[in-house]
Amino acid sequence: MILGIDIGGTKTSVCAGDADGRILFSARMPSLPERGPDDWMKRLFRLAQEVLAESGIDLTDVRSIGISAPGPLSVQRGALLSPPNMTGWETVPVIAPVQDHFGRPVYMNNDANAGVLAEWLWGGCAGTKDMIFLTMSTGLGAGIIAGGTLVQGACDMGGEAGYHVLDPMGPASPCGHRGSFEAFCGGKNAADRFSRRMKYPRPADFRHFMDEVRRKNPIALEEWEIYIEHLAQGIGNLIMILNPSIILLGTIAMHTGSIIFDELSRRLPAYTVPEALKACRIEAATLGRYLGDHAALAVAAKNMAQ
Amino acid sequence: MILGIDIGGTKTSVCAGDADGRILFSARMPSLPERGPDDWMKRLFRLAQEVLAESGIDLTDVRSIGISAPGPLSVQRGALLSPPNMTGWETVPVIAPVQDHFGRPVYMNNDANAGVLAEWLWGGCAGTKDMIFLTMSTGLGAGIIAGGTLVQGACDMGGEAGYHVLDPMGPASPCGHRGSFEAFCGGKNAADRFSRRMKYPRPADFRHFMDEVRRKNPIALEEWEIYIEHLAQGIGNLIMILNPSIILLGTIAMHTGSIIFDELSRRLPAYTVPEALKACRIEAATLGRYLGDHAALAVAAKNMAQ
């Protein structure tokens, strides 16, 4: 058995599953990053105990624990390093406290790398040598398989494509990089921009923004144009740099459906050469609602297989 | 023995060497792409015969032929596919005619992939798992080693980073992509832009442009600012997407020396996160003047080793 912990800026979920990606039980809690890491860690341990109890698993049956967490992070130091949507979490050790608490080997990777591993191991892409998974939730990160290998990078920052700059005159993002892929296309950043222009008292979420796009709210349509054009540019850049055969899009694309894929088909030729674009399928992530849980399990499964 | 053929938009060189990267003899000719592929191929065969004769090698001693050529190209089809600086060369078969002429196995890869292989095999980067080589000559391409594997891509277009778009409102380039890394930082594009602004009757080369930068010609300084800032953005993007431990810069950086590296050090923090930047050394390609020859040999050496 594997315990999977999927950490996000909005929610954290814990699941019990196995090395073939089967999920027995999964539960979630709000992450509430503003309350700080200690509060979060206490609630995480409680949730994990509940998951073990609910799934009837004894801790002695758990072989390892896999963690999928928002980047940037250091696998070597076992710590989160100021993830953009968790303000104040500067260097937050995660592997050591979880290992100490449960007494089991703990493996961690960022959510994008974990996601691409899950899709590669258990999704519809088995055997693919070159693929990319874009998280597309609160933030925006990429997990990259190139030449049949996960691109982990020199210090675990391979695939941090959300930081790559699409337009140096573009909007600032919480991470401080002007005009980055995440500044334009991170779900929170896009929804916040729309909310500010609408003068909402509190920022709405991306789902509300998309509802307003469908209702043809003129401000929503303007912001959608910015969002989708830069999404095409960012994805086009990844196609030209890495020449993948599949790009899988995460949360937002899974929720909003065909409109994103239709617009990308229309806009991608301006950012790619025909051969590279033709070689690349762009689809919604195949593991669906429980992708985060699968991702956390995949981190442990991959390390156990090595 | 290996025969190496290094094709460029400006010159083509042929060398005789071995699978350990030793070069016995090398000769070059202008490519003159405007005269078309047939003329070029005839002159190439003549040059190859001269190289064999000068180095005292019999064709029967040649085990294979390695070709380094400007991208985009298809290894599978053995053809060049409209390289940006060879106008009119739309689909130009290269492997088949060379193989027919010499009767030896021929392997081809693009100059950036060939260059990174040569540096990885015989340069100062042996053992590196994550490295990038940027060609920086007439055009601009990247060869990428990620997780210890060459990023060839789904259709041999891995590393075509010259096409990735830095600013959608930027200058058009011959390849038709607005604001691409190559549009800003390809040697020919930058020198052409400077020449147009200077109203030169014929475009000057990059070396002349750099001479004018050093003379503090105000137009040259303006164009240098555009060049070097976008070079920082493009390199920063590659650092954030791939997290390499080494980036090697080709021709232009080898000629212009420290000014490029000093400026990059100053400007890269705006486009990267500190950990990823700290993990990455940026240096001139180590194989120097004969890098192109080594690159062509490396393509054959790598395929012979597999």
CB pair distance less than 8 Å for A275 and B153: no
Dist CA B111 CA B9 (whole Å) = 11
CB pair distance less than 8 Å for A242 and B280: no
CB pair distance less than 8 Å for B146 and A148: no
Say what the pTM is.
0.92
CA distance B35 to chain A (A): 25
C-beta separation of B115 from B131 below 8 A: no
Interface probe with A: pick from B144, B149, B242, B245, most Cβ of A within 10 Å: B242
B243-263 as b/e: b if 16+ CB within 10 A: bbbbbbbbbbbbebeeebeeb
pLDDT tens digits, one per residue of A212-238: 999 999 999 999 999 999 999 999 999
CB pair distance less than 8 Å for B163 and A273: yes
Q: Which of A130, A178, A233 sits opposite B168 (nearest CB)?
A: A233
Dist CA A225 CA A213 (whole Å) = 10
Strand partners of residue A21: none
SS in 3 state form for chain A? CEEEEEECCCEEEEEEECCCCCEEEEEEEECCHHHCHHHHHHHHHHHHHHHHHHCCCCHHHCCEEEEEECCCEECCCCEEECCCCCCCCCEEECHHHHHHHHCCCEEEEEHHHHHHHHHHHHCCCCCCCCEEEECCCCCCCEEEEECCEECCCCCCCCCCHHHCECCCCCCCCCCCCCCEHHHHHCHHHHHHHHHHHCCCCCCCCHHHHHHHHHCCCHHHHHHHHHHHHHHHHHHHHHHHHHCCCEEEECHHHHHHCHHHHHHHHHHHHHHCCHHHHHCCEEEECCCHHHHHHHHHHHHHHHHHHC
A vs B: CB pairs below 8 A: 180
pLDDT at B85: 77
Dist CA A152 CA A72 (whole Å) = 12
Q: Is B269 on the interface with A (CB under 8 A)?
A: no
Residue for token digits 């290894």?
Answer: B75
Structure tokens, A84: 């953009």
Q: Is A241 on the interface with B (CB under 8 A)?
A: yes
Dist CA B281 CA A69 (whole Å) = 27
Task: List, in order of start, the domains of chain A with CATH numbers.
Answer: 2-114+289-305 (3.30.420.40), 126-286 (3.30.420.40)
* AA letter at A284: A
Structure tokens, B20: 């350990």
C-beta separation of A3 from A68 below 8 A: no
B163 contacts in chain A (CB < 8 Å):
240, 272-273
Q: Which of B142, B147, B164 sits opposite A237 (nearest CB)?
A: B164
Structure tokens, A76: 């070597």
Phi/psi region, residue B199 (left: phi>0; alpha: psi -120 to 50; beta: rest), is: left
Dihedrals phi, psi of B260, to nearest 5 degrees: -65, -45
CB pair distance less than 8 Å for A272 and B163: yes
Q: Between residues 76 and 105 of chain B, which touch chain A (CB distance below 8 Å)?
A: 81
Dist CA A143 CA B242 (whole Å) = 10
Indicate the pLDDT class of residue B231, thresholds 50, 70 and 90.
very high
What's the mean per-residue pLDDT of chain B?
93
B142 contacts in chain A (CB < 8 Å):
241
CA distance A20 to chain B (A): 24
Interface probe with B: pick from A165, A227, A306, most Cβ of B within 10 Å: A165
Q: Is A131 on the interface with B (CB under 8 A)?
A: no
Q: Between residues 275 and 304 of chain B, which touch chain A (CB distance below 8 Å)?
A: 275-276, 278-280
Cβ neighbours, 10 Å, residue B57 = 16
Interface probe with B: pick from A75, A152, A243, most Cβ of B within 10 Å: A243
pLDDT at A49: 96
CB pair distance less than 8 Å for A144 and B241: yes
- Asked whether the predicted pLDDT for residue A191 surpasses 80, the reply is yes
C-beta separation of B218 from B209 below 8 A: no
C-beta separation of B230 from B166 below 8 A: yes
pLDDT at A160: 92
Residue B288 sits at the vertex; the CA angle it makes with B117 and B71, to the nearest 5 degrees, is 45
Q: Is A226 on the interface with B (CB under 8 A)?
A: no
Residue for token digits 């990429």?
Answer: A142
A113 contacts in chain B (CB < 8 Å):
none
Q: Which of B236, B270, B275 sits opposite A157 (nearest CB)?
A: B275
Residue range B194-204: average pLDDT? 97
Dist CA B198 CA B183 (whole Å) = 19
Q: Is A252 on the interface with B (CB under 8 A)?
A: no
Structure tokens, B69: 């050529």
What is the chain B residue with the closest CA to A229?
B168
Indicate the pLDDT class of residue B116, thresholds 50, 70 and 90.
very high
B113 contacts in chain A (CB < 8 Å):
none
Q: Is B157 on the interface with A (CB under 8 A)?
A: yes
pLDDT at B176: 67
What sign for the dihedral angle of Cα B70, B74, B80, B84? Answer: negative
ipTM of the complex: 0.91
Residue range A250-255: average pLDDT? 88
Q: Using CA atoms of A215, A220, A226, A231 in order, give the dihedral in degrees to the nearest 10.
A: -50
- Asked whether the predicted pLDDT for residue B62 surpasses 70, the reply is yes
pLDDT at A176: 67
C-beta separation of A72 from A112 below 8 A: no
Residue range A106-110: average pLDDT? 96
Q: Between residues 30 and 69 of chain A, which touch chain B (CB distance below 8 Å)?
A: none
CB pair distance less than 8 Å for B275 and A74: yes
What is the chain A residue with the closest CA to B247?
A154
B149 contacts in chain A (CB < 8 Å):
146-149
Q: Is B127 on the interface with A (CB under 8 A)?
A: no
- Asked whether the predicted pLDDT for residue A83 surpasses 90, the reply is no
What is the chain A residue with the closest CA to B148?
A149
A238 contacts in chain B (CB < 8 Å):
241
Give how far Cα A112 sits from Cα of A148, A250, A278, A296, B270, Å: 16, 9, 24, 11, 23
pLDDT at A304: 79
CB pair distance less than 8 Å for B165 and A237: yes
CB pair distance less than 8 Å for A243 and B157: yes
Residue range B202-227: average pLDDT? 97
Q: Is A109 on the interface with B (CB under 8 A)?
A: no
- Asked whether the predicted pLDDT for residue B104 surpasses 90, the reply is yes
- Asked whether the predicted pLDDT for residue A174 surpasses 80, the reply is no
CA distance B17 to chain A (A): 28
Judged by average pLDDT, the poorest of A93-102, A197-206, B117-126 is: B117-126
Interface probe with A: pick from B120, B185, B229, B241, most Cβ of A within 10 Å: B241
More confident call, A303 vs A95: A95
